[in-house]
Chain A
Amino acid sequence: MARAAVPGRLNWLVARLAEGRQETTTAKTLVLDVPGWPGHLPGQHVDVRLTAEDGYSTERSYSIASPPDGARLELTIQRLDDGEVSPYLTEIFSVGYPLELRGPIGGYFVWDPADTAPSLLIGGGSGVVPLMAMIRTRIAAGSAAPMRLIYSTRRPGTLLYAGELRRLAGDDGDLSIDVVYTRNAPPGWTGRAGRLDAAGLSQLAGPLDSGTRCFVCGPTGFVESVARLLIAAGVTARQIRTERFGPGGEAS
């Protein structure tokens, strides 16, 4: 089961970059080959370790963006201008370069592909990454579990996976995708704009019953705000799983 603790230490593995895909001007998807990768569940993350020549070493956690696919793994990295790791990964790290990582990690913010309950996925900024893994896994697994994505981002230029989201929207009656632009909506936009509020949630979230599972990921302030809106809409805390990342970066 997804929520049972998985025993055993994790070994560091050496991944190599097979392909880099620019998603926006500041975000890049790294397609990695990871010999020995044991597979993962959507929502899980990896720890990445960079070590300098002088031995200085630093670690970061990154959500997995891809569904399970053998030794292939995709991470989408948002470059933070004052970051220590993300500028290297998005600008210098090139095809064939090695990268130390370990995983999969996490037993909480995880969608179980065998689960048939409806899920509501709400992402702010690059918080959409683990949610995308859930959507992609649902499709790859042929699951009919109803899934709705509400994706809040600043403007069209910050939208991750734009082409894929466009293709998926309207593809399948049990998968719905809505984008909310918080700063600048594209010309002629008929969807919602501005910060996600109670009215936006009630318009986009669909029926929220006691069986709906909610996954909320994004910057801390976004996650706290959305969790409060969900509770106010009658969802219980036990139905909500959250994942927060730090200040800066691509806000909601």
Chain B
Amino acid sequence: MSDGWTDGNSLGGPLRDVLGVDLTAAVGRCANCGTTGPLAEGRLFGPAPGLVLRCPGCGHPLLRLARAPGRHWLDLRGLACIEITTPR
């Protein structure tokens, strides 16, 4: 995604690979500063060696995703909570 987007919208496909849901509209809370908002609004850095989504409030890493063929490493330590809306 080097000439691609730079926010959490573009994590939709990669995260759905691992978790099976579209998380762009999911609301996350930064474990560092408490800023709460849709993951789509996070700032995305990458692609190498992995994708890093940072908090738009404080810059703290919210999420890290590294990928290799058939394997994924997902680090969610920077998110205190994620609220996911699903069809009823």
A interface with B by C-beta (< 8 Å): 1, 3-10, 45, 47, 59-61, 80, 82-86, 102-103, 105-109, 220, 237, 241-249
A249 to B70 CA separation, bound complex (whole angstroms): 32
Q: What is the interface of chain A mostly: helix, strand, loop, or mixed?
A: loop
Chain B: CB-nearest residue to A109: B9
CB < 8 Å A-B pair total: 105
A1 to B4 CA separation, bound complex (whole angstroms): 27
Q: Is B20 an interface residue (CB 8 A)?
A: yes
Q: Are A245 and B13 in contact, with the CB atoms below 8 A? A: no
A61 to B38 CA separation, bound complex (whole angstroms): 19
A235 to B63 CA separation, bound complex (whole angstroms): 29
Q: Are A61 and B22 in contact, with the CB atoms below 8 A? A: no
A123 to B40 CA separation, bound complex (whole angstroms): 17
The 0/1 profile, CB within 8 Å of A marked 1, for residues 15-48 of chain B is: 0110011111110000000000111110000000
A3-B25, A4-B85 known, 6 other contacts, Cβ within 8 Å:
A61-B9, A80-B3, A103-B13, A105-B13, A220-B6, A246-B2
Q: Which chain A positions have C-beta within 8 A of B2? A: 84, 246
Could you jot down 29 A-B contacts, CB within 8 Å?
A: A1-B85, A4-B25, A4-B87, A5-B84, A5-B86, A7-B86, A9-B16, A10-B17, A45-B9, A59-B1, A59-B13, A61-B1, A61-B4, A61-B12, A84-B2, A105-B12, A105-B16, A105-B22, A105-B24, A106-B9, A106-B12, A106-B40, A107-B12, A107-B24, A108-B25, A108-B38, A244-B5, A244-B9, A247-B6
